[in-house]
Amino acid sequence: MESLILLGFVLVLSIFLGLELISKVPSTLHTPLMSGANAISGIALVGALTLAQDSQLQTALAFFAITFASINVFGGYLVTNRMLKMFKKK
Amino acid sequence: MLNQIDINTIQNLIYIIASVMFIYGIKMLGKEATAVKGNFISALAMFLAVGITVVGVINPLIILGGIALGAIVGSVIAIKVKMTSIPEMVALFNGFGGLATFFIAWSEHNSGIENILQNSLVILTLAIGGITFTGSLIAFGKLSERLKIDKASIITKTFTTIFYAAILYLLASLLVFPLIDISFDYFTILIILVLLAGIGFVLPIGGGDMPVVISLLNSFSGIAAAFAGLLLFNNVLIVAGSLVGASGLILTIIMAKAMNRSISNILFVGYASASKSSSSKEQGEVKPISVADAYLILENASSVLVVPGYGMAVAQAQHTVRELGELLEENGTEVKYGIHPVAGRMPGHMNVLLAEANVPYDVLVEPDDVNPMMDTVDVALVIGANDVVNPSATEEPGSPIYGMPIIEVNNAKTVFVLKRSMSSGFAGVQNPLFFKENTRMLFGDAKESISGLVSEFKD
């Protein structure tokens, strides 16, 4: 219970940190930022890897969670990189 | 036993390093000069966090198989997708992230719930992940124009009702069911309801409001991951998820401000009810212009402002627009691009399209920078944009879009509006710009009209 409260503290601080970090993003970068952030949300993959696999259902759930999170991670980073490479200065 | 502790400690240390890298990565992603590097650092952080987690897993075949399958599918989509399809693809990836957290919550439920707090976390993670998944799928359908269900149709209304019912059921699952003895399998019903709720959440929201929805869903997927982190006691999930949640929230607020509407108005009211109150005033006559005449005016212009909108994306005209811009510059004209934050279907949509067509980003200007010097602009070239240049926003207090910041092209010396027909924009509001003294309408497909101008310049 206590460690959960500590983690809740981490959650709140991280949100404030995020708001501070990204508050002034030029509109040119709105799409890449969104797609790059989207790739980061694929961090769920790390959670999926640690899931228990005690039953067939749980193994299936873990497999699907890993697969879909991986699509999110690989696709997200690659497409963000592709997009950013197009932005050129005069 | 000692060995086990060591691995756990090392994992947690690596997670802290990865968290710091995510923070740097997302910070660098917010500046043009460092964005590519920022994305790389964030990818490296992901690699580290995943890599250290894979060490000593229970069932390597399932895990590596899943990663390999996801890597192949994700990479193929990312490499093959056309730049014009970016909005729906981001929506799709986002949905998959949500789906992963949905499965995590489901699996944790089956592992056995120990206390009410854990139970609440499972329910919230399941709900946010599930709504993100089906909501993103609907957004994907709308953005790729595969899904065409009218806002006022019975299907939409049914799903909207289900959405509210699901929210009530969710609240009951959180607050009531844990306290009373229930004889039915409430969790299975919850699984189905949250998936339906995502559909009901996004279905009623119109295409023009998509930049807000897609940003919000982006935020949701981050929050879902952070909640999953609480559930699994995993700090890197919490930090990374929170960062995504915050960045999505900021984009949502920026988009809502750019439309001068509140987030709840966009999500739950929409333009439809607002536009009924708008009075259609005497509009006057539109003045059409031919490509040849437009060319003559452009040839003598010393400064041109191009204002693109979703119509440019539909017509796939960005490359032709860039060609015209280059010809104008060769002719000694100063060319800028005025980009409204909500032009298109996602935040920064126009910027990506123009970047794809090799337009350098430093000639793209935002409304606040271009409006004060609008009277020095000889020709404002409006390509497939409508609501974002509608002067009602500044002139008509009764208009539903009154107060929305616009690109004030009506103050330019001449305005060319490239448009297919006289239909109104997404907001369903008449645009007085078309009837102004200094406005000329260039009717037809945007790409064809601009190609016409390009060939006039070449001759």
Predicted ipTM of the assembly: 0.95
Q: B78 and A74: CB-CB below 8 Å?
A: yes
Q: How far is B270 from chain A (nearest CA, A)?
A: 23
CATH number of the B291-458 domain: 3.40.50.1220
pLDDT, residue B408, reads 93
To test the contact with chain B by mutation, choose from A10, A13, A27, A89 the residue with the greatest count of B C-beta atoms within 10 A, namely A27
The encoded tokens of residue B365 equal: 């200007």
Whether A17 shows a pLDDT value over 90: the answer reads yes
pLDDT, residue B276, reads 41
Task: Out of B25, B104, B214, name the one closest to residue A47 (CB).
Answer: B104
Give residues with Cβ within 8 angstroms of B377, minimum separation 6.
B303, B304, B305, B370, B409, B412, B413
Max distance between CA atoms of chain A, in angstroms, equals 58
The encoded tokens of residue B384 equal: 């497939």
The A residues from 37 to 76 touching B (CB cutoff 8 Å) are 37-55, 57-59, 61-76
To test the contact with chain A by mutation, choose from B14, B36, B107 the residue with the greatest count of A C-beta atoms within 10 A, namely B107
Please report which confidence band the pLDDT of residue A34 belongs to, taking 50, 70 and 90 as the band edges: very high
Q: A41 and B249: CB-CB below 8 Å?
A: no
Q: B228 and A47: CB-CB below 8 Å?
A: yes
Q: B360 and A57: CB-CB below 8 Å?
A: no
Q: Is A6 on the interface with B (CB under 8 A)?
A: no
Q: Which residues in chain A have their CB less than 8 angstroms from residue B236's CB?
A: 43, 46
Q: What average pLDDT does the segment A7-36 reach?
A: 91
Residue in the structure block whose two tokens are 């005069």: A90
Q: Which residues in chain A have their CB less than 8 angstroms from residue B22's CB?
A: 40, 43
Whether A1 shows a pLDDT value over 80: the answer reads no
Interval B165-196: pLDDT, tens: 999 999 999 988 888 878 888 999 999 999 99
- Mean pLDDT score of chain A: 92
For the question of residue B387 being annotated catalytic, the response is yes
Whether A87 shows a pLDDT value over 90: the answer reads no
pLDDT, residue B277, reads 40
* Ranges in chain B, pLDDT < 50: 272-280
pLDDT, residue A68, reads 97
Interval B394-408: pLDDT, tens: 888 888 788 888 999
Whether A50 shows a pLDDT value over 70: the answer reads yes
